[in-house]
Each structure stands twice: as C-alpha cells, then as structure tokens.
Amino acid sequence: MTDSPEKKPRPERPVRKPLDRDPRPPHPGAIAPAQGRFLDPATAIVVDGVVPRPTVYVGPRLLVSKSVDVAAAVEVLRYVAEPLGWSVEPEDEDPRTVNLKFGYVPLRLGVASNRATIAPDAWTLLQQTRAQFGVSAVKGVSLDHLVVPAIDSDPMHDSSPMHDSSPMHDSSPMHDSSPMHDSSPASDARGSRAIATYLQIGSGGRQPIAYVGSAPRRRQDQAIKGRRPVVAVLDTGCGEHPWLDGVVTTTVTLDGVTIGYSDATSVSPEDEGDQSGPLDGSIDPISGHGTFIAGLIRQRCPDADILAWRVVPSDGPIVESDLVATLAQIAELARRHRAGEPGGHPIDVLSLSMGYYHETPEDALFDPTMYAILEELARAGVVVVCSAGNDATSRPSFPAAFGRWADDGGPIPFDPTIAPILSVGASNPNGTDALFSNAGPWVRSYGPGAAVMSTMPAFRGGYEPVARTRAFGRVREAIDPDDFRGGFAVWSGTSFSAPVLAGTVAAGLVGALEPVDDVSDPQSAVDLAWEVVTSTTGLARS
C-alpha cells in the first residue's frame, strides 16, 4: 500500500439547472436521532473529478456489501483511518440478512486515540480512501443514507427546528397561513406560494372527510379465474379499518423472522398517531400513511390481496441499511415462491413510497446494492412501483430512478428480461401534473396524487374545532381538523400515486394469473407483467 495520494486539480463546480435544484440543508434536530449529517458539496472532498450532490447520511457508519471482500475493505479503511485517529470496527450483520443473498456489514467509526482532531465521518474516510488507493479499493462500500417517505418529509427540505418534518403531510390548518411559520411562502424566498397551496386544508393537506358511498365491491374467490393478485406495501404498516379487514395481511414473515419492524420493537404509527415531537397531541407527519396507501390499492383493485409491512416510523426518515434488509427479505419471499421452494409467498406488485437522493449516481462511485435486490424481485415477475418524490425537482430520486429512463440515460442499463421498475409522479384531480411532483426523464408515468381520498385509522389529535356550542340538546361544532374517527381523509403526495398505479397493475392481472395451487415459471410471470404494464401505462418493453 502507499499513503501518497495523487495530486489532482479540484474541478470547477457545475452550474445546476433550476429544475435540477438541490434540497435545502437540514436542521440538525431533524436528523439527529439517526446521527444524520448533511453532505454539503461546497465543502465536500472531491475525488477523480466527481462533484458530489447533497444527501443526508449516518455520520459514523459505512456499509460494506456482502458481494465484495469485506475483510479487504476493512483493512484499507483502517489504514487510512489510523493517521486520523479513528477506528473502524465491523458490527454484526443485520440478523434478517445473515442467511440471505443480499445485505450489508456495517462499519462503526470511532475515535481510536487522542490524536483525532475532528469527529469520525463516513464521507471523509470514504473519500480519503478513494484518493489514496482508487475507487476500486472500496468498491461496494457506501454511505448509509437516510431514506424518507414520499421525499417531502426529507430532513433536507426544512431548516426550521419547529417545523413539522413533512410539509406535504401536515394536518394543521394553521400550518401554511402563519407568517411566522418557516414553510410560509411569505417567509421563505426560495419557497413557492403555488406549491404551498397543496399543504392547506381544503387544498390537499391531510384532513378528515365524510365518505357516504359503499366499500369497493370484492368478489368471492370462486368468482375469480386463477388466484388473486398480491400487492405488497412497505411503509408504516396498516391499521384497522372496515375496508381492509380480511384484505390486508400484516403477519407474513420469512422463516418466522419479522419483516421490517414489529410491535415488540416500537409502537406502530397506525395504532398511535402521536409518538414524536412536542407533547401537544399533534398527529405525527407520517402516521396513518400505510393505511391510506392500502385504501388506495383497495379502491383501485378490490380483488387484490394486500401484504403490509412496517419499516417507516411516524416522523419520517429511516436508514438505508434498514430498508435494504427488509427488501432483501421480501425478495427472498418472492424468489422462493417463484422457484416452488418452501417458505415463499406470491407477490405480484410491490409499492414503495419512499426515496433518497444519492450523492454520486452518475459514476463508478454509485453503489447499486439496492437495485440488485429490486432486480431479484423483478426476475421473479414482481412489478416494483416507486413514488418519484415531492420536491418539484428533476434530480433523480432512488429507488424510482432505477427504472428505465426516457432517454435510456439512467445509471442502470435497461433490462427487458425482467419485470419493470416503474417511477410515478403525481397528477392533480384534473389530470395535469401536480406542481410539487418531481419530474424528468426518469419519471415515466403519472397518476392521481393530489387531494386523493382514502382510508385512515381512527386518530383523534390535539387540535380542537374553532367553535363548539349546544342547541336543542345537540352538540354543534366546526370541523375538527385532526379528528379522523370517520375513517377517511384527503391527502396529497407522490406517496399516493405509487399505490394507485400498483393497484391499476394488479387490476390488470385479475383473471390472468395461475391457479392458487400452481406457480408460473419466472419467464411467464415477467411476460405477463410487461403485458399488463404496457396496456395500463403505455410503457413498452422494446
């Protein structure tokens, strides 16, 4: 080894197009629980002429893919860390992936001596190692990114410590109207008054409504040719609701091991709406998210069975390693089913309403571990539907940007031999594109995502009606803005475009799937997936 890095001139910073804008830096309090740090391109170390883009990551942790030589990666990282006074210690692999094909070995960075002058930092160590030994020396080593539901709950989006972490998921009628509030377009020169209208109650912000119709009609098993399509949802879980009883299953495991989080590890955001933030009774920004998503699938395809797993907390970000571990479990379920092995479960569509922005998606530093898992799912005939995000930017968000780009310019070459990975943006009720939706050549489809109606757990938050009185022995009051005991709500975000499209694809599969006791071969499943996707979205396989 040599500790003499090659001297290279620092490249000029490229000019970003307005549509390709980067999110605002996060407030430290928004990412502190996950030991999150913001990668600032203005101060970040540059290697091989690559200028990183902003992202949020776990500061003292690196991830090493199981697909590479973990011991060799640790050795070179320790060599570089030693002069900095840092230690590099492998931790136990997530027990959920120990016996699976995909997974990470986490590396914990610490202070090894009193010579350390700065806190251990994953990006600094990774770039120093690349500078000294080249990109290939740490191939398969990556940051542990913070992944957020529907993107706009992204901690990069807001700089106010008092701000609700999700401006697209806020139930407060006072949220947008306050000139003292950080998200107010009047107080933020970089904000958009037009986009802010989606936050307001009555314009698409989360609010209770009264639904007076019947539940979507679900046919009996014997009335359907073949088995029912299965739509899997990885989100905040799913709460109780009359529409979802007997339709949603939350107990599917892999070899008895819980997929995602369990009630034993934390309280479900679908059971308890207020788990984080001040003791004010305000419903958390993502509470009810998974129930709302399940209700959209139920409306779009009443005959589908739904699997719901919980990996997202009530206040937003999760770490990438947690998401990867859970996706690896789901991929193994689908693979075993398609191979006819014990312990599998049929999955036809996977709906993902979350994402992150990678710092180097266009070059050799990009780690495609998550894509490898989605590819495994797609080879088993699973259509993966991903929300594009709500930041009104063309910057690619992952995993949505793993799909085929319109110009075939994405980081992953298009593979027509596997089922499609679909990115979906949000449209308004009139069919136009929602202003908050991300866009670009990587967003290939659009679906209802602004002011959509669906199911909600029976939450009752801390707000009160603005007026209440009694007359003729009856209570009279204004609408309680966070009383969801009626069971239904309106909400906005590309989070909801994904399950709408997932349900649409599932509806196309009804009557075309194999019998319950049979299993189609992978190629037949992929061919059927493409046939349905082409007919429902217009996206062609060739």
Token pair in block for residue 40: 């600032």
For the chain, the farthest-separated pair of C-alpha atoms sits apart, in whole angstroms, at 87
Residue type at position 320? E
β-strand partners of 236: 310
Q: Quick one: which of 30, 29, 21 has its CA closest to 53?
A: 21
* 321 belongs to the catalytic site: no
How far apart, in whole angstroms, are the C-alpha atoms of residue 68 and residue 93?
A: 14
The sign of the dihedral angle between the CA atoms of 316, 289, 459, 261 is: negative
Do residues 328 and 102 lie in contact, with contact meaning Cβ atoms separated by under 8 Å? yes
Angle of the 122-133 helix axis to the 70-81 helix axis, nearest 10: 100
How far apart, in whole angstroms, are the C-alpha atoms of residue 215 and residue 210?
A: 13
How far apart, in whole angstroms, are the C-alpha atoms of residue 59 and residue 35?
A: 6
- In this structure, the number of other CB atoms found within 10 A of the CB of residue 75 comes to 13
Residue tagged active-site, from 172, 282, 495, 497: 495
How far apart, in whole angstroms, are the C-alpha atoms of residue 381 and residue 337?
A: 11
* 517 belongs to the catalytic site: no
Do residues 478 and 281 lie in contact, with contact meaning Cβ atoms separated by under 8 Å? no
How far apart, in whole angstroms, are the C-alpha atoms of residue 53 and residue 44?
A: 9
Half-sphere exposure of 326 toward its Cβ, with a 13 Å CA cutoff?
A: 25
Q: Quick one: which of 325, 381, 392, 384 has its CA closest to 353?
A: 384
β-strand partners of 488: 455
* 170 belongs to the catalytic site: no
β-strand partners of 142: 63
- In this structure, the number of other CB atoms found within 10 A of the CB of residue 353 comes to 32
Residue tagged active-site, from 235, 274, 284, 305: 235
> How many H helices and E strands in the chain?
9, 19
Spacing of C-alpha 365 from chain mean position: 22
How far apart, in whole angstroms, are the C-alpha atoms of residue 285 and residue 489?
A: 14
Token pair in block for residue 180: 């003292």
Do residues 497 and 387 lie in contact, with contact meaning Cβ atoms separated by under 8 Å? yes
Q: What are phi and psi of 122, to 5 degrees?
A: -65, -45
Residue tagged active-site, from 289, 337, 345, 358: 289
Do residues 496 and 454 lie in contact, with contact meaning Cβ atoms separated by under 8 Å? yes
Which residues belong to the active site?
235, 289, 495
